[in-house]
Each structure stands twice: as C-alpha cells, then as structure tokens.
Amino acid sequence: MGKSVLVTGGAGFIGSHFTEYLIQQYLDYEVRVLDALTYAGRRENLAAVDTHPRFTFIHGDVRDRSSVQQAMQGVHYVVHFAAETHVDRSILSPDAFITTDVYGTFIMLETARQVGVERFVHVSTDEVYGSAEQGAFTEQSPLQPSSPYAASKAGADLLAQAYHRTYGVPVLIVRPSNTFGPRQYPEKLIPFFTLRALHDEPLPLYGDGQQRRDWLYVHDHVRAIDVVLHKGQVGEAYNIAGGNERTNIEVSRLILHTLGKPESLIQFVEDRPGHDRRYALDDSKLRALGWQPQADFEIALRQTVLWYAQHREWWQPILQEQLEYREFVEQWYAQRQ
Ligand code: DAU
C-alpha cells in the first residue's frame, strides 16, 4: 500500500541518496523532504528527483515547530537524518549541534507524538558509543560520546528511546558507521582528501594516522535503513556496520593511488582534541533482518574518488567556504598546544 514518507535532511549526503532510493524502489510512495539548506544541504543533491510527481521539497528547519507540523501532516513514516554532523565543527562551534541535533530531534518526536505516525526512524551514529579500544559495540553497550557532536547525537538517541517508552511513539533507531560515497560534503575525510590530492595539496592527517574507522558505502547504508524502516521492531536500535575497518593512513594511501598522486602528500598535523581511536560495531541484529553490505570497499572507494574528480561543478561552488573553515580549524588546534 502506498505510504507517505517524510525525510528530514534529505538535501544532505545520505538523506539525498535515501530519497532517490525510496522514489526508485517504492513506486507507490510519496516522499517529502524537509531541509533547512544549511551549508551541507543543497538542492543540487536532489536533482534526480526534484521534478518527480511523487516528490515534494519543503524548505524548513527541524527546530521550527510550525515547519515540522506542516511537513508531518498526513505522513505515515518519518526518517530523521537532519543534523549537524561534523566533529571538527562541533569542537569549534558546538551551539548548532545542541540546537539542531537535540532540540530539533525533540521537536520531531513531539510532533510525531501529536500527529500519530506509523514509524519514526531516528538516524543516530556509532559515535554515541565512544571509542572502541577493542572488540565491537552491541546495541546494549553504554553511550560514552567524546565530542560535542557525538554527545548531541547521544542526547537525541536517548530522547528517541524515551519517546518510545513514555509515549509509545513508534521509534526505531539506527547507529551507522562512517559512511562514504558521492555528494558527501568535502569536510569529511574521504572527499576532503580527494579534493586536496586533486589540487596536489598536502593531506592533513590528524595525529599518527593510525585511528581506525569502519567504512560503509552509502548505498549499503540506505538499504539498511529501508530494512529497519520496514522490518525492524519498534523500540529497538540497530547498528549498521560497513565491515571495512581501515586506518586513516591506509584510506589516505588508497585515495592517492587512485589519483596517481605520491604518498609524500601525506602530512601529519596536530591531532583533533578528544579524537576517538577506533569505531567498531556488532551488526548481527540487523543482519538477522536479512541485510548485509554489498559494496567492495576498494572498488566503492575508487568510484567515489573518481566521482569527485569528474564532478568539479558539484564541489567548485563550496570549495572556498571549506578551505576557509579548514584554515580556522587548523589554527584553532595548533593554538591549543
Ligand atoms: O562514525 C560515524 C560518523 O563518522 C558520523 O556520525 C559523523 O557524522 C561523521 O563525520 C564521521 O565522523 P568521523 O569524525 O569519524 O569522520 P571524519 O571524516 O571527520 O574523520 C574520519 C577520520 O579521519 C577521523 O579519525 C579523523 C580523521 N581525519 C579527518 C579529517 C577531516 C584526519 O586525519 N584529517 C582530516 O582532515
């Protein structure tokens, strides 16, 4: 039966892939995107669906009750991506993380309670668990966030749980690992280093470059959310792992090799304060619902790097903002010494 789905943050990286996927996969679904179009949300990201008859775009902020109420009217499912997501930005300017990630999620949950939606998927993150020195976190592991970003997401995650327990809002939570793919804002490791390498500029690797992340391709990420949305048990959280644990220096070398650039471009810089050493998730609960990642990491990384090389028109308009911001980050970290 046809459903109406509200996707918040649908003009961002993962939200736009999820929106495209829903439109293609479910021919009787109507998809509404609510997006504030902050620096990381861009209408261009929705170009593939923008004129589709089953697609509607609403420009609005999740912190604004009336925008959210308007967007959620008549909706069956909510998938809540909208958030400030970049750790470095949260260290320099935490305010927007608290207001958007915590208060914005509160407005979303409160509105869902009033409107009475069928399912509400809250997109959390593996960062809520903090650093995994060894082993892998299950959904029962304690939340021990390190950065203001991770703490804001932990706050949102706990609010989502509370809204299920207290009010019976049909919440499902996903906690995905580091995601990569086309259209990711070039502040994150893979697109940022790709653009640096394309310009023959040094790749600023924090600390010793031995931190480990588990990389999840964006198409696998959106399929996992689809599975949780349709088959997950209400009130439960689901980890989404990529199964591709790599050190940051390994990822940097792969980017350089793909572009035929020398490893001498790698430059070790002052570490990110509170930097989590490793993220690792046990995703057996999600796999029991029938999901498993399909992408081959090396191939998907190569395709992603080449997408940036071939889509200058996508990143050229945002490059200057990103360079200025990075300079600000590096100066701030250096001054802390
Ligand atoms: O784990 C999921 C999380 O992954 C998401 O919830 C976050 O929204 C997302 O930003 C990401 O967090 P990370 O901090 O792991 O991602 P980022 O791409 O910023 O950094 C990945 C690793 O690379 C991390 O160990 C820091 C390092 N790094 C990053 C940048 C941008 C560098 O060494 N140099 C850099 O310039």
Q: Compute, in angstroms, the gap from residue 188 CA to the centroid of ligand 1.
A: 6
Hey, whose CA ends up nearest to atom 11 of ligand 1? 178
Q: Please state the length of the chain.
A: 337
Q: Kindly state whether residue 221 falls inside one of the protein's structural domains.
A: yes
Q: How far is CA 106 from CA 79, 112, 174, in A?
A: 14, 10, 17
Q: Kindly state whether residue 137 falls inside one of the protein's structural domains.
A: yes
Query: Among 38, 89, 213, which residue has the most ligand 1 atoms within 8 Å of its CB, making it the best to mutate?
Result: 213
Q: Is the CB of 152 under 6 A from ligand 1?
A: no
Q: Compute, in angstroms, the gap from residue 178 CA to the centroid of ligand 1.
A: 7
| C-alpha atoms less than 13 angstroms from C-alpha of 269 in its C-beta half-sphere | 21
- Give the residue numbers spanning the domain of 115: 4-181+215-240
Could you tell me the CATH number of the domain that includes residue 120?
Answer: 3.40.50.720
Q: Kindly state whether residue 111 falls inside one of the protein's structural domains.
A: yes
Residues 6+ apart with CB under 8 A from 127: 87, 145, 146, 147, 149, 150, 153, 276, 279
Whether 325 sits among the annotated catalytic residues: the reply is no
Output the pLDDT for position 156.
99
Q: Dump strand ranges (E) for 177-269.
A: 179-180, 203-206, 212-214, 216-217, 237-240, 245-247, 266-269
Q: Is the CB of 193 under 6 A from ligand 1?
A: no
Hey, whose CA ends up nearest to atom 29 of ligand 1? 189
Output the pLDDT for position 162.
98
Nearest-atom number in ligand 1 for the CA of 248 is 23
Q: Kindly state whether residue 301 falls inside one of the protein's structural domains.
A: no
Q: Is the CB of 86 under 6 A from ligand 1?
A: yes
Q: Are 37 and 110 in contact (CB under 8 A)?
A: no
Give percent helix, percent strand, percent coil of the chain, each to the nearest 5: 45, 15, 35
Whether 149 sits among the annotated catalytic residues: the reply is yes
Q: Is the CB of 122 under 6 A from ligand 1?
A: no
Q: Is the CB of 206 under 6 A from ligand 1?
A: yes
Q: How far apart are CA 10 and CA 14, in angstroms?
A: 8
Count of domains forming the chain: 1
Look-up of token digits 């046990």: 282
Q: How far apart are CA 243 and CA 126, in angstroms?
A: 13
Q: Kindly state whether residue 167 falls inside one of the protein's structural domains.
A: yes
Output the pLDDT for position 334.
87
Q: Which helix (H) or strand (E) holds 143?
A: none
Whether 126 sits among the annotated catalytic residues: the reply is yes
Q: Supply the DSSP string of 296-335, one letter for each residue.
A: -HHHHHHHHHHHHHH-HHHHHHHHHHHHHHHHHHHHHHHH
Q: Could you give the dihedral angle defined by the CA atoms of residues 107, 113, 116 and 120, in that order, rounded to the nearest 10 degrees?
A: 60
Q: Dump strand ranges (E) for the chain.
A: 4-8, 30-35, 55-59, 77-80, 119-123, 171-176, 179-180, 203-206, 212-214, 216-217, 237-240, 245-247, 266-269
Tokens of 139: 């959904």
Tens place of pLDDT per residue across the chain (337 aa): 799 999 999 999 999 999 999 999 999 999 999 999 999 999 999 999 999 999 999 999 999 999 999 999 999 999 999 999 999 999 999 999 999 999 999 999 999 999 999 999 999 999 999 999 999 999 999 999 999 999 999 999 999 999 999 999 999 999 999 999 999 999 999 999 999 999 999 999 999 999 999 999 999 999 999 999 999 999 999 999 999 999 999 999 999 999 999 999 999 999 999 999 999 999 999 999 999 999 999 999 999 999 999 999 999 999 999 999 999 998 999 888 6
Residues 6+ apart with CB under 8 A from 121: 77, 78, 79, 80, 171, 172, 173, 174, 225, 228, 229, 232
Q: Is the CB of 212 under 6 A from ligand 1?
A: no
Given the residues 126, 214, 245, 283, select the one marked as catalytic. 126
DSSP code at position 214: E
Q: Is the CB of 205 under 6 A from ligand 1?
A: yes
Q: Kindly state whether residue 42 falls inside one of the protein's structural domains.
A: yes
Hey, whose CA ends up nearest to atom 34 of ligand 1? 205
Distance, C-alpha 152 to centroid of its chain = 14
Query: Among 178, 192, 327, which residue has the most ligand 1 atoms within 8 Å of its CB, making it the best to mutate?
Result: 178
Hey, whose CA ends up nearest to atom 20 of ligand 1? 189
Q: Is the CB of 192 under 6 A from ligand 1?
A: yes
Output the pLDDT for position 142.
98
Q: Are 330 and 196 in contact (CB under 8 A)?
A: no
Output the pLDDT for position 1.
76
Q: Kindly state whether residue 53 falls inside one of the protein's structural domains.
A: yes
Q: Kindly state whether residue 300 falls inside one of the protein's structural domains.
A: no
**Phi, psi (degrees; rounded to nearest 5) at 27:** -70, -10
From the number of C-beta atoms within 10 Å of its C-beta (0-12, 13-18, 19+), residue 330 rates as middle
| C-alpha atoms less than 13 angstroms from C-alpha of 102 in its C-beta half-sphere | 14
Output the pLDDT for position 337.
65
Q: Are 280 and 132 in contact (CB under 8 A)?
A: yes
Q: Compute, in angstroms, the gap from residue 213 CA to the centroid of ligand 1.
A: 8
